[in-house]
């Protein structure tokens, strides 16, 4: 199996070269871009497994690159490279689909640990079957839809992420905080939100799960998706 390819978009030459050297030394194939224009073009056209993306860039910002990816390469694995004082920007980036963030200044060891973790999760998601029969419903993760009783109900990217995670963890209740951390990439200790509950409610509606027998709430423990067809 060939080594994963990582795209690094960072305008600080010294930081960029340090990242490229660390990744190359660890056996990854690396391509890099020095500004937003070059980075956006590479992000949309190059073949790579993971994007390391600075947010503050000339020409196109990291947010503009993330927005372009949403329309053209939805689900692309991304780690944000974020300055220490940009917490709101980090949260915005995670909501736009990034998988994780590394706060500057960071060590090569920390960066490599984050890279390995995101690539591992990405591989697990890809290995997960893309179509599942559950309680008479067809959950099509590739097509982002639930088919039930002859009707198709479109799923949002986050709803797909929630279902993927629940399917990958059969037989146990998954806490809200765990879903926030792994699907949204948000530290639950730093934010108060009902977004998980809202997404669960939307999924149940699209499943026709009015009695909450398919996507169960286990009081005090989280959510569990029933297994089997």
- Mean pLDDT along residues 10-25: 96
Structural domain including 35 reads 5-126
Domain CATH for 63? 3.40.50.2300
Do 94 and 185 reside in the same domain of the chain? no
Would you state the pLDDT for residue 144?
85
Q: In the prediction, which pLDDT does 97 show?
A: 82
Lowest mean pLDDT among 6-20, 30-44, 132-146, 180-194: 180-194
- The pLDDT tens digits of the residues spanning 136-146 come to 899 988 788 99
- Tens of pLDDT along 46-62? 989 999 999 999 999 99
Q: Are residues 134 and 121 in the same domain?
A: no
Label residue 112 by pLDDT band (50, 70, 90): very high
Whether residues 84 and 190 share a domain: the answer is: no
pLDDT of residue 31: 96
Judgement on whether residues 119 and 171 belong to the same structural domain of the protein: no
Note the pLDDT tens digit of each residue in 195-204. 899 999 999 9
Same domain, 15 and 61: yes
Q: What is the pLDDT of residues 73-94, one digit of tens each?
A: 777 889 999 886 667 887 888 8
Is the pLDDT at 1 greater than 60? The verdict is no
In this predicted structure, what is the pLDDT of residue 125?
Answer: 59
Task: Rank 27-31, 72-76, 222-226 by mean pLDDT and report only the highest.
Answer: 27-31
| pLDDT score recorded for residue 86 | 66
Residues 176 and 71 in one domain: no
- On the question of pLDDT at 162 being above 80, the answer is yes
The three-state DSSP-derived secondary structure of the chain is CCCCEEEEECCCHHHHHHHHHHHHHCCCEEEEECCHHHHHHHHHHCCCCEEEEECCCCCCCHHHHHHHHHHHCCCCCEEEEEECCCHHHHHHHHHCCCCEEEEECCCHHHHHHHHHHHHHHHHHHHHCCCEEEECCEEEECCCCEEEECCEEEECCHHHHHHHHHHHHCCCCCECHHHHHHHHHCCCHHHCCCCHHHHHHHHHHHHHCCCCCCCEEEECCCEEEECCCC
pLDDT at 157 over 60: yes
pLDDT value for 142:
79
Mean pLDDT (the chain, rounded):
87
Q: What is the number of structural domains in the chain?
A: 2
Same domain, 110 and 148: no
């Amino acid at each position: 199996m060939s080594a994963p390819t990582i795209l690094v978009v960072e305008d600080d030459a010294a930081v960029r070269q340090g990242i490229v050297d660390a990744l190359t030394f660890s056996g990854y194939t690396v391509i890099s871009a020095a500004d937003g224009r070059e980075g956006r073009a590479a992000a949309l056209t190059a073949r790579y497994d993971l994007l390391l993306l600075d947010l503050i860039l000339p020409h196109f910002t990291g947010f503009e690159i993330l927005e372009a990816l949403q329309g053209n390469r939805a689900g692309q694995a991304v780690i944000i490279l974020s300055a220490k004082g940009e917490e709101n920007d980090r949260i915005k980036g995670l909501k736009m689909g990034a998988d994780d963030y590394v706060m500057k200044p960071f060590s090569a060891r920390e960066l490599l640990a984050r890279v390995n973790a995101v690539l591992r999760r990405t591989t697990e998601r890809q290995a997960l079957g893309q179509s599942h029969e559950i309680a008479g419903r067809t959950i099509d993760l590739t097509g982002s839809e639930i088919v039930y009783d002859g009707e198709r109900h479109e799923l949002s990217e986050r709803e797909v992420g929630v279902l993927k995670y629940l399917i990958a963890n059969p037989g146990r209740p998954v806490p809200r905080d765990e879903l926030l951390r792994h699907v949204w990439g948000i530290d639950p200790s730093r934010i108060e939100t009902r977004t998980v509950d809202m997404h669960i409610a939307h999924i149940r509606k699209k499943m026709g799960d009015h009695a909450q027998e398919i996507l169960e709430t286990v009081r005090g423990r989280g959510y569990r998706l029933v297994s089997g067809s």
